[in-house]
Structure formats: C-alpha cells, structure tokens
Structure 1
C-alpha cells in the first residue's frame, strides 16, 4: 500500500473537497466530505503535508492541522489557478492545490496565530467603519449640494455646519429630508465615536506588542502601520529577502522583460496589499514634508532629501515606504531594535 504524502483540501463552509496523494503523486482518492468528517480526518490521520488555498478559514484549518502534527501549507490562489488546466470544479481545484504544494518554487503563506488574526480583524473592522463614514459623508454633501448648500472640505467642517443647516428654516430644505438629515448627522457622530474608540484600542494593543513596539520606531510608522506590518509579515520567515516582502505589499515596480531587454514599469495597481500600502505611503509623505522644511538629521533623511530633489515627493515617499518594509523584515528576523544612523555634527 502506497503511503499518503499530501492531503489537499479545497476549503468551503460545509462541503470540503479532499484529494489524497500517495507516494509517486498518484491520487488515492478525490472526494467531498463534510466539516465533521474533515476534523476527524485531520485528528486521526498520521502526520502528512496538509495543503489548502488561501481563503476564508484557511488559518483556522492550518492551525488545526498544526495541533495534530501535520505540516500545513497555505498557498496563494494565483499560484493554484495557474496549475488548473481543466474546467473549474471542486475536484480539479483540490488536485491543483496538491500539485502546487509539491513545487519548490511556490512558497506557502505564513500561518497567523489567533492573537495575530484578532489584531487583523480589529484593523479590518476599523477599515470598514472608515469606509462607511466616508460614504455617509459623501452622500450628505451630495444631497445638500442639490439644494444649493455647499460645505467646506473636511469632516470637522461638516460636523460643525450640520446643526446650523438643520436649524435654518429658510435654506430650502424640505421637512421630509430634514428629518433624514438629522438621522444621518446622528449616524455620523456614532461612526466618529466608534472610529476614535478603535484607534485607541489599536494604540493600546500596539503598546503591549513587542513587534509593534519595535516597528513603531521606524520613520512614518504609527500604530496602524505597525499593526499592519506585524500582521502581514508575521515572523518574516515567509520572505527570503526584504525585497520579497515589499514586492508582496506592492511597493516595487512591475517588470516585463524578454530577450535580454529589461523594462521596469510602475508599481502594481492590482497585485498589492492596498490598505497597508496606502498607510505606508501616508506615513512616508508625512516624513517627506518634514524633511523638506529642515536640514536632515540622519543618513536616511539625507538620502531622502536628495531623492526628493531628483525625483519628487511622491516617488521619494514610495521609496521610503519600500525601505521601511525591508527594514521591518530585517528587524523581525534578527530581533533587533531600530537605531537610525545620525549625521556627524
């Protein structure tokens, strides 16, 4: 009897497709099982490689496989899709996952702990609240402009102006919309209070997290950026070099080379961690604005100021964000503290 080497799982909510590979890459079986049967399979089976695609619930199943002595592999969906040559079915998906798990050049994603996943969930909740508040603000401004009421930019100006708009009986607002506008103003207050609360909660967790404290010393890195980097990088063993990490986040230019000719383009608009990249860029821009107004104090600021003069502020900010990610990887891997190199006086 051939020994099982890989169990490939196409994850879902209740029905899971499991493909078992024997030694020699022959398929023992490829069948659908329910959640209870999958838990029993992982608990009773001898330790093997358990591979799955990165999706909802992948980290939960990977941690469960770890607890039962299995070697887990979470694979990027894009890597698995490139190996699926037939029609898209659950059987073909599970088979492609098993094949991808055997290829040495496809590196698995790191498995997040429950604490790290909780921090990620906290950041996701904050992101959703910000999006909902932004959508509400845009709707209020758009509807008021239809009645000729224009309010200056900024959340503070809108919050400050809404009571006056509601109390003004001669501004042309009909009573039916005035009632809805009052409800919207109350929602806006609630969103703002919730966002402030999440900001304080994130700041509190980052103060008590060793990796977040380490990364917070980097230029342009605040609590949200430190949290995002901590969750995304993990123990940084997923990345061979710092450039791999910055490329994964989307801070390196795309390359389209052929025939010995290299063509370097712009940073990717799609293959990126857009939320984290946006936060890194905002933090880097704040550093750029400060460096422009004063003399550089460190070697990195000296490099940044020269880059701003050559290429402009935005490109310099992306370069600084790229360097920040690379430095973060080195700090996590080497368990070092960040100490900027000061210029000689």
Structure 2
C-alpha cells in the first residue's frame, strides 16, 4: 500500500508498533488499494532508467558549475558540452590569464570528471535504448504520438498491470494528467503534486513537440485534426495536456487488449 494512504490511519508518534497498527487498519479499508508488484525485469528496467536520470543530472550540474565559475572569471563559453570540453584545457594552459595554480589544478580535475561523466552518461543512454528496443511492449508504445524511448519505458512501467486500474481514466489519473476533482463541479487544472511527475513531464514535452510539428503542416489523421481544433480553442499548453491524457488512455487500452496502435487516417 502507498505510505501516503497508510499515514491517514497512524495514531500517535511514528513507531514500529503504531506503523503496524496503521497498516492493519488500512488493509481493512476497501477504498485503499494495494500497490502493484513488478517483475524482476521491470525492476531492472526501472533501475537503468533511474541510473540514466542520475547521470544526466550530475552531468548538467557539473557542467553548469564549470561554466558559471569561468564566466565570473571573464571566460564566457558557448553553449554545448563540446564547447566546454574544448575551452577548459585552453584556459588551464593559458599562463597569462592570472589564475592561481591551485585553481588550475582543481579546474582540470573538474574537467576530467566532466569528461568521465559524459562518457558514463552516453554508455547508459546506449544501454537504455537497447533495453527499449528489446522490449516488445516498449516498441509498440513508441508508435504513439510524442512518445520516445524514455516515454515508452515509463509508460510500460506505469501501466504494466492494466488490471490494477478499473478503467482508462483511472490510469490517466494515476499518472496525473486529469483535472483535479472538485465537489462543486466544473473543469480545473491538473495537480502538480499527485501522479507520476517524471512520466507526466516526459509526455507533456513530447506532446509539445507534436504540436510544434503540426503547426507546419496539414493534419493527416483524425487525432491531428482534433489537436488543431483544440489548439485554436484552448491554446498549446492545454492541448499538450489533453494529448498526454489521451496517450495514457490509449496506452492503457493497448496493453489491456494486447493490440498495436493504428492511427485513424483522414479520408480524402
């Protein structure tokens, strides 16, 4: 069970005994759903996804620190990792820039660390893409609009057990791409706290890419026609969330019925 659901039944301070009582009380409630259990293969796929994300964050943080420090010292560097890797050794070897020796040594050490991190991140990226290519479910999900390797893997991990959800809307709500419910009715915005933040972000960015591409050409499918109409009425960001919602629902139906994605083409 989700720890957030169990916490509502916790009485007193957080101790092992109180936690056990809260878990027992929560287990008796029909409205509290049990968490999904995933297979060993899915656990490993989730693991390499997390490794890849960590490597990317570390690479970006280290590159930003190097770039910002050198900018403060009067050495602006163009965007891109290649430009940074090319300029740092030149700055370290320049004997006339006035940098003290201890800083040159530290700067070169950071440069070597960044170079190793880039190689590590690239190796993880290749292994991740290979894992996506070898997985038949990920290959099928990659056919959806705006779904790349990362989106396909995250969708597969989130919806690997379609029977855990009663319907497609429940699956979309679990990801966090449905409007927040209010007892007074009406339409609201999506929650930024609930759901799978990583998957929602990836689907949103993928949907924006689809929308940008669609601006430059005519619609070829019924879904693209619907997107163009929705962009005109509600704007691009609302349309991107609507496409992400539809993507999750479609992926849920594909996994539940074990079918491939077949976009409906416009006639004529």
Give the corresponding residue for 2:220.
297
2:17 paired with 1:91: yes
Give the corresponding residue for 1:137.
63
Give the corresponding residue for 1:275.
198
- The normalised TM-score by structure 2 is 0.93
SS of 1:267's partner is: coil
Number of aligned residues: 268
SS of 2:189's partner is: strand
Cα distance change of structure 1 residues 159 and 93 upon mapping to structure 2, 3 Å threshold? same
- Select the structure of larger CA radius of gyration: 1
Partners of 2:68 and 2:212 lie apart in 1 by 32
Higher relative contact order (CA 8 A, sep 6+): 2
Cα distance change of structure 1 residues 156 and 297 upon mapping to structure 2, 3 Å threshold? farther
Partners of 2:226 and 2:95 lie apart in 1 by 58
Give the corresponding residue for 2:123.
197
Kindly indicate which of the two structures has a greater share of residues assigned to helix: 2
Partners of 2:164 and 2:194 lie apart in 1 by 17
Give the corresponding residue for 1:310.
233
Partners of 1:263 and 1:81 lie apart in 2 by 30
- The normalised TM-score by structure 1 is 0.73
Q: Deviations over 1:119-147 (max 9, x none)?
A: 00010111111111111112112211221
Q: Deviations over 1:286-343 (max 9, x none)?
A: 1111111111111111111222222222222221111111111110001010000111
Task: Out of 217-226 and 80-89, give the one that drifted further.
Answer: 80-89
2:134 paired with 1:184: no
Give the corresponding residue for 2:8.
82
Q: Deviations over 1:40-60 (max 9, x none)?
A: xxxxxxxxxxxxxxxxxxxxx
Give the corresponding residue for 2:158.
232
Give the corresponding residue for 2:211.
288
Q: What is the root-mean-square deviation of aligned Cα atoms in Å? A: 1.7
For structure 1, which runs of at least 5 residues remain unmatched after alignment? 1-74
2:250 paired with 1:331: no
Q: CA deviation at 1:264?
A: 4.0
Q: CA deviation at 1:79?
A: 1.1
Partners of 1:266 and 1:325 lie apart in 2 by 17
Q: Is the 8 A contact 1:248 1:272 kept in 2?
A: yes
Kindly indicate which of the two structures has a greater share of residues assigned to strand: 1
2:116 paired with 1:215: no
Give the corresponding residue for 1:66.
none
Partners of 2:181 and 2:79 lie apart in 1 by 39
Q: Deviations over 1:168-211 (max 9, x none)?
A: 33344332222222221222222121222112112111122121
